[in-house]
């Protein structure tokens, strides 16, 4: 027996409608002809997702290193263990992206095990990659040491996973956001692996979302939200889990938590893409005014949004955005010109050299964010009125 999907009342359906309104606005950017700024935003969103999901488990990397993991680059500041965690997570998520449009796709226990192996391959001793746990498992409070959850018996893991696989593959009219949330809940409560259960459950949620074809995973994932709201995430799982495997428990608090997460994250993403569109145009104007080559806009934009620009990352951005290669020497010359123009600040030396935004790009970034309004969810579950009822406003 798995945790059952709660019946959707008017409040949950109202929330789903509001989220769908945001998704519709995001879909315009996803479906429109690609703009050069769009690739950067997309990779930063992917980086923040893997950064957020791994932060929950204590693996901390900078956004810069998370972006490097997305692009297949090299770590700069993170610890080796943390870096290996995000690289493994990115490896599994890359496979999820491949599966999103596979016409022959089928959910299976072996798929879940394979994704776990990809994610935890670097942690063989601790995680037993791709293998079900051989015995009991307990989740402890990291501060007090108290046992906060006990998973089902190990002998029950294979049949429970089989039941989950059947549920995932069944035809259903249940909204994909709800199905994805329940997949996450059931896998994390089954806790089928020795380690990596939380991250694996979040990967499964992203897989269900991507198979639902609602939006690209970078735009539909709630992992960044979960990383920023870890105490609330653990609290709602503890509330629903009731300290041990309890599939008869009411899953509605978890479902509502996920709907809030989807609304807030979609609001953030929509705000970011709108700001990025404006910022890219201003970076183009700065490049033109300072007689910089067109390719320099990629470095100015990355710096403007707060990323550290390195020679290697600049060359990668040019290759990705313009489809052309530039040499280390050309990149060095471009970056030096941007420094002389007062747009970038040089930091470090030799292999450790990187560039950050100077005053004009700082001002550009602040202007783009000046019209931000608070994202509120106070009316998300309203059952009357239009989308602005109950104090809920679509974010600027």
The DSSP symbol for 382 reads: -
- Contact between 3 and 250 (Cβ < 8 Å): no
pLDDT in the model for residue 159: 98
Tokens, residue 138: 């307990």
Domain-terminating residue out of 249, 269, 289: 269
Alpha carbon distance 23, 308 (integer Å): 30
338-371 as b/e: b if 16+ CB within 10 A: beebebbbeeeeeeeebbebbebbeebbeebeee
Same domain flag for 184 and 88: yes
Tokens, residue 57: 């488990």
Nearest-CA neighbor of 222 among 231, 213, 233? 233
Domain-terminating residue out of 269, 299, 322: 269
381 is a domain residue:
no
pLDDT in the model for residue 384: 62
Same domain flag for 83 and 197: yes
Same domain flag for 237 and 190: yes
Same domain flag for 82 and 37: yes
pTM for this prediction: 0.89
Same domain flag for 188 and 142: yes
Same domain flag for 293 and 260: no
395 is a domain residue:
no
Q: Kindly report, residue by residue over 86-143, the tens digit of the pLDDT.
A: 999 999 998 998 898 899 999 999 999 999 999 998 887 778 999 999 999 998 776 6
Same domain flag for 61 and 188: yes
Burial of 170 (0-12, 13-18, 19+ CB in 10 A): exposed
CA geometry: angle 162, 164, 167, nearest 5 deg: 115
Domain-terminating residue out of 229, 247, 269: 269
pLDDT in the model for residue 394: 43
Same domain flag for 190 and 316: no
Domain that holds residue 146: 10-269
Low-confidence ranges of the chain (pLDDT < 70): 31-36, 142-143, 215, 217, 384-396
pLDDT in the model for residue 163: 98
Same domain flag for 220 and 96: yes
Give the three-class secondary structure for 218: helix
Listed in sequence order, the DSSP H helices in the chain are 10-31, 36-56, 63-71, 80-99, 109-120, 124-127, 157-169, 176-190, 197-211, 217-220, 223-228, 230-241, 252-289, 296-304, 311-322, 328-340, 359-369
Same domain flag for 131 and 253: yes
377 is a domain residue:
no
Which CATH number is 359's domain given?
A: 1.10.10.10
Same domain flag for 231 and 303: no
274 is a domain residue:
yes
20 is a domain residue:
yes
Domains: count for the chain = 2
pLDDT in the model for residue 389: 39
Which CATH number is 71's domain given?
A: 1.10.3290.10
388 is a domain residue:
no
pLDDT in the model for residue 169: 94
5 is a domain residue:
no
pLDDT in the model for residue 28: 78
105 is a domain residue:
yes
Tokens, residue 5: 């999907």
List phi, psi (to 5°) of 276.
Answer: -60, -40
Q: Kindly report, residue by residue over 231-278, the tens digit of the pLDDT.
A: 999 999 999 999 999 999 999 999 999 999 999 999 999 998 889 889
Same domain flag for 115 and 167: yes
Alpha carbon distance 96, 180 (integer Å): 14
pLDDT in the model for residue 266: 92
């Amino acid at each position: 027996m798995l945790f059952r999907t709660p019946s959707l009342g008017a409040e949950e359906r109202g929330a789903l409608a509001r989220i769908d309104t945001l998704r519709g606005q995001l879909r315009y950017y996803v479906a429109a002809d690609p703009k050069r700024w769009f690739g950067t935003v997309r990779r930063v969103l992917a980086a923040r997702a893997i950064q957020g999901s791994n932060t929950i488990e204590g693996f901390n990397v900078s956004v810069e290193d998370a972006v490097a993991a997305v692009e297949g680059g090299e770590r700069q500041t993170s610890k080796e263990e943390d870096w290996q965690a995000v690289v493994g997570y990115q490896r599994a998520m890359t496979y999820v992206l491949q599966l999103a449009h596979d016409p022959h796709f089928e959910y299976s226990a072996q798929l879940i095990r394979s994704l776990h192996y990809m994610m935890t391959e670097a942690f063989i001793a601790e995680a037993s990659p791709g293998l079900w746990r051989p015995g009991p498992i307990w989740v402890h409070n990291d501060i007090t040491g108290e046992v906060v959850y006990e998973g089902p018996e190990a002998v029950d893991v294979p049949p429970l996973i089989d039941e989950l696989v059947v549920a995932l593959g069944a035809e259903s009219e249940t909204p994909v956001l709800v199905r994805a949330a329940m997949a996450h809940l059931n896998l994390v409560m089954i806790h089928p692996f020795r380690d990596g259960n939380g991250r694996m459950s979040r990967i499964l949620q992203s897989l269900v979302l991507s198979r639902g074809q609602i939006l690209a995973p970078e735009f539909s994932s709630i992992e960044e939200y979960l990383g920023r709201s870890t105490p609330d995430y653990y609290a709602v799982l503890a509330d629903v889990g009731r300290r041990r495997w309890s599939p008869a428990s009411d899953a509605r608090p978890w479902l509502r938590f996920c709907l809030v997460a989807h609304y807030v994250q979609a609001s953030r993403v929509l705000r970011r893409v709108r700001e990025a569109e404006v910022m890219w145009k201003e970076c183009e104007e700065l490049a033109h005014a300072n007689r910089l080559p067109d390719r320099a806009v990629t470095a100015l934009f990355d710096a403007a949004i707060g990323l550290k620009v390195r020679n290697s990352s600049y060359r990668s951005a040019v290759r990705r955005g313009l489809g052309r290669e530039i040499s280390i020497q050309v990149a060095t010359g471009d970056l030096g010109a941007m420094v002389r123009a007062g747009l970038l600040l040089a930091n470090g030396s030799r292999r450790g050299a990187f560039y950050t935004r100077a005053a004009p790009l700082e001002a550009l970034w602040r202007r783009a964010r000046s019209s931000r309004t608070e994202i509120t969810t106070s009316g998300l579950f309203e059952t009357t009125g239009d989308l602005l009822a109950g104090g809920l406003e679509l974010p600027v």
